[in-house]
Structure 1
Amino acid sequence: TGAGSGIGRATALAFAEQGADVVVCDVDAEAAERTAVLARLLGGAAHAYRVDVSDGAAVDAFAADVAAAHGVPDIVVNNAGIGHSGTFLDTTEEEWRRVLDVNLWGVIHGCRAFGRLLAERGEGGHIVNVASAAAYLPSKILAAYATSKAAVFMLSDCLRAELAPARVGVSTICPGVVNTNITRTSTFSGQSGEKLAATRERVARLYARRGFPPEKVAAEILRAVRDRRPVVPVTWEAKAARVLSRVAPGVLRAAARVNPGG
């Protein structure tokens, strides 16, 4: 899911390069089709669908269509997500719903629709849920986003235990700062118009300067599936935060109080 750009597109192409047939979806149908075209150039079959992952009925229909037309997939990657920055008190109910509908409910819908198919098929398989280092790295300006990703992290742990008897693996991918276009579509509490556009541009430049490409995340996703790894932090900051979350969580809690930029 979310295969029209960024990590989703890079992952689809990485699997295609390994000889997999891929089915991609995105809320942007044209972007999904562009990814499918690129995947076909690598030699495999590729099919594109328009799907809004926040719509449970649409995801159920998508899963049924995929199974009927292409067979039950061996690997499912729940990647679609959106960004939002804002403190808890500044984040509106509408903003909370938007973030949770896509980042959490989108993963729930994907896991439920395809997880059932995989379990009933009885031939094993793998589900990949793309979370974030924000799942275990608290920040007072990422209240909704971090909450959504932490929920995906725990959902994956629960689902992994449930699907183990069916030989269906579940991997949680936790990237840090990755240079994708999520920054150009992210929302910021209390900002609109020119101010929002300026903030998006500033953050996009920071992510671009970090220079960590989505293709490196895709490579970690392939490795996670191959080795059936449960949790995969990606980028040095995600790995460092993961270690601190386990051995010195108080350090992360203290850091969360600091205002970004000083």
Structure 2
Amino acid sequence: MSVASPLAGRTAVVTGAARGLGAGMARALVRRGARVALLGLEEGELARTAAALPEGGAHWWAVDVSDAAAMEETAARVRSRFGSPSVVIGNAGIAAAGPFLDSDPRLWRRVVEVNVVGSAVTARAFLPDLLRTRGYYLQVSSLAALAPAPLMSAYCASKSGAESFAQVLRAEVAHRGVGVGVAYLSWADTEMIRAADTFAALRALRSALPWPASRAYPAPEIAERLVRGVERRSAAVYAQQWVRGVRLARPWLPPLVALRSRWMMRNLERDGGIAETGPLGAGGEAAVDGRADGAPRPGHICDGG
């Protein structure tokens, strides 16, 4: 006899749900009987993701997670349609790569704005609901929060910041019955990572990592493991068990990375293989380049209808 998921009949919110891990987690949540609010920037992808789910199981809103007023309004719309959420997953994130000195300051800031500020805005908008439902907030972080990665200064800083934010939030709300978790994952086989692999320097950096850190893992597999962590209300969710060991080794990683990077960066510079990537993938482009694919203007919300 199958055991019903504790998520059955609950309302869950997933940001960055248009594609990749966000869409995968939305599917895993609906399979467990949850009603899911899909939030993201790309109307077309959100509509396609929602349409592939059972009727009535999901609804989408196109909104910029870094826009506080729009997110507050979206939270009210989610509440009106589905009731107060019991689960909120802060998954929205973008990446860009290149040497810090040569990086576009506006793009660098936008990565931090989406990945850190967007996470805090999401939590602020939905925390009253989680307090009412004694719910659970999951912040999706990354291996990049645990180990510095050359050419990824904005992404590493933002994922470390999002991790720290979630840990502080946990300390503030645990006594009120709200659980807060941080998800740690290695490379996922998503459109963003595939875009990164088109750049020689990023390919070289990933291939130089020891196995299994160099492997890209299937996104549905990662999404399923993260949602299992949501069911358990885990404080730390590991998409790959070996990442737990990396977290324990965290104090020793910066000097090791710096030592190994000396010859790699020298060789990449010599070969002319280092260049700024711009936002990686269509999701990153939507967050940066004037709202691609009909994504909402600042302060504007698109409702799935």
| TM bracket, shorter-chain basis | 0.7 to 0.9
**Matches of residues 247-258 of structure 1 in structure 2 within 5 Å?**
250-255=255-260, 257=262
Post-superposition offset of 1:234: 2.4
Post-superposition offset of 1:52: 1.2
- CA RMSD of the aligned region, Å? 2.7
- AA partner of residue 216 (structure 1): E
Q: Secondary structure at the match of 2:76?
A: helix
Instruction: Give the distance between the partners of 2:148 and 2:237, measured in 1 at CA.
Output: 18
Work out whether 1:3 is the aligned partner of 2:17: yes
Work out whether 1:79 is the aligned partner of 2:91: yes
CA contact 1:174–1:238 (8 Å) conserved in 2:
yes
Gap regions ≥5 residues in structure 2: 1-14, 208-213, 269-305
Q: Tell me the alpha carbon deviations over residues 74-124 of structure 1, each in whole angstroms, 9 at most, x when there is no partner.
A: 1011111111112322223112211011111110110111113222x1x31
Instruction: Give the distance between the partners of 2:166 and 2:263, measured in 1 at CA.
Output: 30
- State the structure with bigger RCO (CA 8 A, min sep 6), 1 or 2: 2
Post-superposition offset of 1:198: 4.9
TM score, norm. by length of structure 1: 0.84
Instruction: Give the distance between the partners of 1:146 and 1:166, measured in 2 at CA.
Output: 31
**Matches of residues 83-98 of structure 1 in structure 2 within 5 Å?**
83-98=95-110
- AA partner of residue 29 (structure 2): F
Instruction: Give the distance between the partners of 1:254 and 1:62, measured in 2 at CA.
Output: 46
- Identity score, percent: 32
Instruction: Give the distance between the partners of 1:116 and 1:258, measured in 2 at CA.
Output: 50
Work out whether 1:183 is the aligned partner of 2:197: no
CA contact 1:25–1:48 (8 Å) conserved in 2:
yes
Map of 2:116 onto structure 1: 104
After superposition, the Cα gap between the structure-2 partners of 1:256 and 1:109, relative to the gap in structure 1 and judged at 3 Å, is: farther
CA contact 2:86–2:129 (8 Å) conserved in 1:
no
- AA partner of residue 7 (structure 1): L
Instruction: Give the distance between the partners of 2:93 and 2:167, measured in 1 at CA.
Output: 19
CA contact 2:134–2:178 (8 Å) conserved in 1:
yes
Instruction: Give the distance between the partners of 1:223 and 1:243, measured in 2 at CA.
Output: 22
Q: Secondary structure at the match of 2:39?
A: strand
- AA partner of residue 120 (structure 2): I
Post-superposition offset of 1:5: 0.8
Gap regions ≥5 residues in structure 1: 187-196
- Of residues 95-104 and 9-18 in structure 1, the stretch that sits farther from structure 2 once superposed is 95-104
Post-superposition offset of 1:47: 0.5
Work out whether 1:143 is the aligned partner of 2:148: no
After superposition, the Cα gap between the structure-2 partners of 1:248 and 1:106, relative to the gap in structure 1 and judged at 3 Å, is: closer
